A and B are shown apart, each in its own frame.
Chain A
Amino acid sequence: MAIRPPLTSTVDPVEAPTPMTITETAPDTGTTTGSAGSPQNEFGELGSVLGTGDHARIGRMFLGGSFIGLVAALVVGLLLDIERSSADSVSLLDNDMLLQMVSAHRMGLVLLFALPALLGLAFLVVPLQVGASTVAFGRAAAMSLWTWALGSALWIAGYLVGGGPGGSDLRGTDLWLLASIMVIASLLVASACVVTTVLGLRTRGMTLGRVPLFSFSMLVAGSIWLLTLPVAIANLVLIYIDHRYAQALFGANEQILPQLGWVVGQPQIYAIAIPVLGIAGDIIPVFAQARQRFYGVSLAAIGVFGALSIGAFAQTGMPGRTISEGDPLGIAGDPLYIGMAVLAILPVLMVLALGADTMRGGRLKFGAPIAGALLSGLVLLGATVAGAVDVVEPLDLFGTTWALGQFQLTVGALIVGVVAGIWFWAPKIYGRTLASGPGQVLSAIVALGSLLSGAALLAAGALDQPDSPAPGAVRDGVEALDLVAAAGAALVLLGVVAVIAAVFQARNRDDDTPDDPWGGHTLEWATASPPVRGNFAEAPEVLDERPLFTPNAEEDAQL
């Protein structure tokens, strides 16, 4: 049985906590909060924002910024869907812009939303889960945030001047390429901070095998990002030098997106979905009010899913690369590619099966986090199944919108997962609980939108609709499916905007937030909401992977 650390703190806001042996006696009152305890300065609040090294603040800004990126990318995606569904080659946008919008949508969802959202959530939650007083290299984390923000601005500026892949402004393309390097590099710095936190800042008793699933999934995801995304940087460096000085290898502009396509295609796209398993794995036992069995199997499943998401070898657009004859994309018939796509279903299924087992063995209570967790898991399962079907050679789905549908499903799973995480950890993120009803509805809306959009694109792909935004590329007879896809994308956008509104509304509410509203099992629920500066009044010590779990968890919940 693990020992429970104090729930609240009277720690001095400017002093770091002194590591101590854990006691069961909790101080009566908590007086300081993360934001209240932040160092003040002579430049006021703005200076506090710009100069902060506080992991919670950095995490919130990453998360907030990622949702701005998400809305922007979803709007672009919606416009593309509308464009695809418009009949008879009537184009609302010119071809130059359409081509750029394809990369803006797909890479935007990964670089401006998926990775920063997960890293933001990790900055907020991982130090609490592993019992650390801060994130590793807090100032490097701050630098990664600002570099990402400025890099994203330059990345968008690259598009605005017509320099995105497919655009005609050569100087703008140079800007886009360098900004892409800047964005990816900044996200890698942030990943290194998160991975180092999990590896090097765990509290006493917390072996790596006892790390909560979200933190472990971030360890795996961060490691996979560090092992694969530098290859994308290498691609971009080569393209930049070639584009600027020679245009001998990749041409003027046309080869950029095909070369970088592996970042947004399977199996690499699963790398953004690894933490979905961790989020679901942490939420389900709490709402099932049961200890999850076979914890090690969950860890292994997340690790295996990470390995199966290594996609840097699948660079289909590299000039001169032909793997099998008669295969224009160069990878479709490769047994490794096929094997990875099929095997990716297993770890997702394993985590969901373990979740179902936990729910069966416990007393399930319902709420927005569990709704989001289950939906995200199911949408991700759908995405992996779609990915497996994609590689069935006789179906000949390569080059159709099937892959786009699978991408939409994977990103949809991530959006729902992140929403579930925000609802679950809101007391630690914002110091507020978010209303459960809207949370359930919004998770359902985003999941439904993702499924609609994804399924429609899959169906259109099965009917040989090519994955091209060019006017006239629409195959006759699939206009209705394209319209459904557009409706699904609109639903996702609507849901995301509503999520942002719900969070803002809750942040403006002034109420007492319980430290542990759910009867949580892991260390983040052992500190105040929002956490005290330094996170814990005393350094906690744990004895198992669910240090706060008791069979009467419902009684522990403070709602």
Chain B
Amino acid sequence: MSVVAPAVVTDVIPADAPAADPARPRLVLIGTALTIVAFAMVFTGLFATYFLQRAEFGPGWIPDGAGTIPLSPASVMLVTLAMSAITVQWVKWAIANDDRLNTYLSAGFTLVLAVAFLNQASFLYTAMGWEVGGEHAVQAVLIYAITGAQILMLVAAMVFLVLMSLRALAGQYTARDHEGLTAAVLFWHAAVVAYAVIWAAIYNVK
């Protein structure tokens, strides 16, 4: 399925202007990969402290019963992000086929799912009801730091995707050259993986 690209701002480009030189491939992807590495190491540093403190604390790190972290909302969040991983891959597939309509549509779906995830995160925080300076201060510091970092990463991924989609909307990316969008998709996947690790190591294992 291929749809002709809707002209959004391309009418401001003079028809007689020379075409731009082709962009140097791989640059944006390498830069994004390095950014992902840096984020991964931030999470590594946070998790390292988390695992150490959890091991030092012993049983009951996250209490059972009242005051526990409910698994169901966290699992729903995981499913939501897993779905967004599919829709964001759809963005990449669509632009690789010069299918702009599907590119915009899938980017929109992805962002909606991300907003839903943020809403669910807010719900989970409320359901936990932990205060940083409260009864489980050490656990709260660590869990809020780790989950907050992932939320920050996801928000960064959302901004990245929006900005690259705007460039696509302005007619920039094509089937041959769509590195900006591919980079945004890669970063998105990294944010999803980060949450999957959080789900496994914090919410599920406890």
Contacts and interface: CB of A to CB of B under 8 A. Distances in A.
> Does B associate with A?
yes
B137 A231 contact: no
Residue from B27, B34, B48, B144 having most chain A Cβ neighbours under 10 A: B34
B30 interface: yes
A142 B145 CA distance: 29
Nearest to A230: B41
A147 to B, nearest CB: 15
Given A137-B31, A188-B38, A192-B31, A234 B26 contact: no
A312 B45 CA distance: 8
A228 B145 contact: no
Interface residues of B, number: 33
B33 to A, nearest CB: 9
A234 B45 contact: yes
B132 A241 contact: yes
Nearest to B139: A248
B34 A234 contact: no
B30 A199 contact: yes
Contacts of A238: 46, 49, 141-142, 145
A234 B31 contact: no
Contacts of A321: 52
A320 interface: yes
B140 interface: yes
Given A230-B39, A234-B44, A196 B52 contact: no
Interface in A214-253: 226-235, 237-238, 241-242, 245-246, 248-249
B176 interface: no
A136 interface: yes
A246 B26 contact: no
A200 interface: yes
B149 to A, nearest CB: 7
A248 B143 CA distance: 14
A196 B30 contact: yes
B144 A241 contact: yes
B27 A200 contact: yes
Nearest to B53: A320
B26 A320 contact: no
Given A234-B45, A238-B141, A245-B132, A320 B39 contact: no
Nearest to B144: A241
A348 B27 CA distance: 32
A249 B138 contact: yes
Contacts of A381: none
A192 B38 contact: yes
B183 to A, nearest CB: 12
B27 A136 contact: yes
A167 to B, nearest CB: 21
Contacts of B43: 234
Nearest to B26: A200
B37 A226 contact: yes
Interface in A175-228: 188, 191-193, 195-196, 199-201, 226-228
B202 to A, nearest CB: 15
Contacts of B31: 136-137, 140, 192-193, 196
A502 interface: no
A238 B45 CA distance: 10
Interface in B138-190: 138, 140-142, 144-145, 149
A136 B34 CA distance: 13
B141 A246 contact: yes
A318 interface: yes
Contacts of B53: 249, 319-320
Contacts of B52: 318, 320-321
A234 B30 contact: no
B72 interface: no
B141 A241 contact: yes
B172 to A, nearest CB: 17
Contacts of A233: 42, 45
B64 interface: no
A230 B40 CA distance: 8
A196 B137 contact: no
Contacts of A319: 53
A315 B27 CA distance: 34
Contacts of B39: 230
Contacts of B34: 191-192, 195-196, 226
A181 to B, nearest CB: 10
B16 interface: no
B45 A245 contact: no
Nearest to B21: A16
Given A136-B27, A320-B52, A226 B140 contact: no
B204 interface: no
A247 B48 CA distance: 19
A234 B42 contact: yes
Given A238-B142, A241-B141, A319-B53, 13 more contacts: A136-B31, A192-B38, A199-B30, A201-B24, A226-B37, A227-B37, A233-B45, A234-B45, A234-B49, A234-B145, A238-B49, A246-B138, A320-B56
Q: What 6 A-B pairs come out closest when comparing CB atoms?
A: A234-B45, A248-B137, A231-B45, A230-B41, A245-B132, A320-B56
7 contacts: A16-B21, A195-B34, A201-B27, A228-B41, A230-B42, A246-B141, A320-B52
Interface of B: 21, 24, 26-27, 30-31, 34-35, 37-46, 48-49, 52-53, 56, 132-133, 137-138, 140-142, 144-145, 149
